[in-house]
Structure 1
Amino acid sequence: MATYVLVHGGGHGGWCWQRLTPLLRAAGHEVYTPTLTGLGERAHLLSPDIDLDTHIADVVGVLTYEGLTEVVLVGHSYGGMVITGVADRAADRVGRLVYLDAAIPEDGQSLVAVAGMLMAAARAGSRVVDGVELVLWPDSDAVRYYGVTDPDDVSWMWDKLTPHPWKCFEQPLRLNDPAALTRIPRAEIHTTSSLAMSPPGTAEALAGKEQTWVVDAGHDLMVTAPKAVAEILLGLV
């Protein structure tokens, strides 16, 4: 039996995994889907202090207090920033990293540095509420990047999406031991929609990499292609 910890991306919450988790649990595995502070059902905890370090601590806390080890730590989108920090802080609890159409940062990089054009588009629709700069509002153009087009899916997501603190995206990730991080096995799952917006040659470069998959889906593939994602995740353990 494996233990999966699924970390959502910007503007989402643990709810976004609802179509994927039953498939993993049906195969006999444990699944945890924490919601990061200030988002989803934890939106009432929003404050000016929330940043990338806050979200890393959220997930480290789950691993620690649940007594989890050898976890398959999956991060979607911004969640790639988070799981990289978690693996650095709690390397002894992480068995594998999975980047699900996610940012794959190096030491000292922020999400703005990793995905500058997308972050610029997100910030164009920012609003300040109670001293917190928030982006990815559900009614902004930025959410088109999620790649969810089915009206029923859009309706299901609409009242669950929450704006995200900009501070999380501009804070650089600081690693304590970058070398140790590279020793943790990792896998990458990309989408055709994201590759279409990537620099020329990206898809060709990925074709030669081990433990790398491309799913024909939009960015929120855990919503639109859960069976394809589950098949890959189950094949890793």
Structure 2
Amino acid sequence: MTEAANPTQTSIVLVHGAWHGAWCWSRVLPLLRSAGVDCHAVTLTGVGERAHLMAPTIDLHTHVQDVIGLVEAEELQRVVLVGHSYAGMVITGVADRLQASHPGLLAHLVYLDAALPYPGDSWSSHHSEETKQARIAASQASGGLSFPPPDASLFGLSGADRDWVNRRQTPQPFKLYQQPLPFDAERVAAVPRTFIDCTQPALATIAPSRVRVRAEPGWNVVEMATGHDPMVSEPAALSQILLDIQRRA
């Protein structure tokens, strides 16, 4: 049985984006742990090693509960919560619930090149009509159950890194793509927030988030000159950014 985390320690919880799993953090976790940080990577229901659980009932609330379940099972007392890409939706939902039930548990939210919803937005809300229609069409092969991953070159990866990600990606549950996320914006904004902007190449679907964090007060913005999967392409640099946030939290 896992021992409870040191109550004085700020833990890092990593939440992957669409089509990925906890596997995508395998280059980051050893670096964080070697620095003495308690850290955990979630695999969301229906993808990664949990792909066998794919079901039409999987939605945003399922994924929010996946993260809350880990926090509760590990008895974490103070958390830097990191959400990559699609998981910006997930960590927003998690923050809304945990701020209500356990105020002070969340020390920092890190949106890693991530979706950044307003209350009532869906993941698809800020995508182009072309992207929306392409994903809807792609879901039809599974009867609307899921939609397949893109080639990892879209994330700025090439060579062995691209092949490594392509081998591991799995279809993403589709129901959550158009599902609205209600939340209390003031409650979520009460948690300190950082946006990590991956700029080379910059993924087009993240553009609205990039604009927003530079226009709104309260955001710490960090740029990385790498593609959309920095946990793969620049794990050392990403780990250092997360360690700096964790130490200040």
Q: TM bucket by the smaller chain? A: 0.7 to 0.9
Query: Residue 169 of structure 1: CA displacement?
Result: 1.3
For 1:115 and 1:215, the matched residues in 2 are separated by: 22
Aligned with 1:178 (options 182, 185, 192): 185
1:109 aligns with 2:121: yes
**Structure 2 match to 1:123:** 136
Aligned residues of 2:60 and 2:179 also touching (Cα < 8 A) = yes
- Aligned counterparts, 1:1-237, within 5 A: 1-91=9-99, 92=102, 93-117=105-129, 118-129=131-142, 131-135=143-147, 137-138=148-149, 140=150, 143-149=152-158, 151-175=159-183, 177-192=184-199, 193-194=201-202, 198=207, 202=211, 205=214, 211-236=220-245, 237=247
Percent identity (aligned): 44
With structure 2 as the length reference, what TM-score do the two structures score? 0.84
Alpha-carbon deviation of 1:204?
A: 10
Q: Distance in 2 between matches of 1:155 and 1:230?
A: 22
2: distance between equivalents of 1:233 and 1:119?
A: 32
Displacement of 1:108 in angstroms is: 0.3
Which amino acid is the alignment partner of residue 163 of structure 1?
P
Rate the CA distance shift 1:171–1:38 in 2: closer, same or farther, 3 A: same
| Partner-residue secondary structure (3-state), 1:125 | helix
Q: Could you tell me how far apart the structure 2 residues matched to 1:202 and 1:31 are?
A: 30
Counting matched residue pairs gives 230
Aligned residues of 1:195 and 1:203 also touching (Cα < 8 A): no
Deviation at 1:159, TM superposition (A): 2.1
* Amino acid in structure 2 at the alignment position of 1:123: I
Q: Which runs of 5+ in 1 are unaligned?
A: none
User: Helix, strand or coil: the match of 2:124?
Assistant: helix
The alpha-carbon deviation at position 160 of structure 1 amounts to 1.1
Q: Which runs of 5+ in 2 are unaligned?
A: 1-8
Q: Secondary structure at the match of 2:202?
A: helix
Paired residues of 1:71 and 1:94 also in contact (CA < 8 A) = yes
* Secondary structure of 1:83 counterpart: helix
- Contact 1:69–1:95 (Cα < 8 Å) also in 2: no
**3-state SS, counterpart of residue 145 of structure 1:** helix
Q: 1:158 to 1:22 in 2, by over 3 A?
A: same
The Cα of 1:194 is off from its aligned counterpart by: 2.3
What is the SS of the residue equivalent to 2:125?
helix
**1:228 shift after superposition:** 1.4
More divergent stretch after superposition (157-166 vs 99-108): 157-166
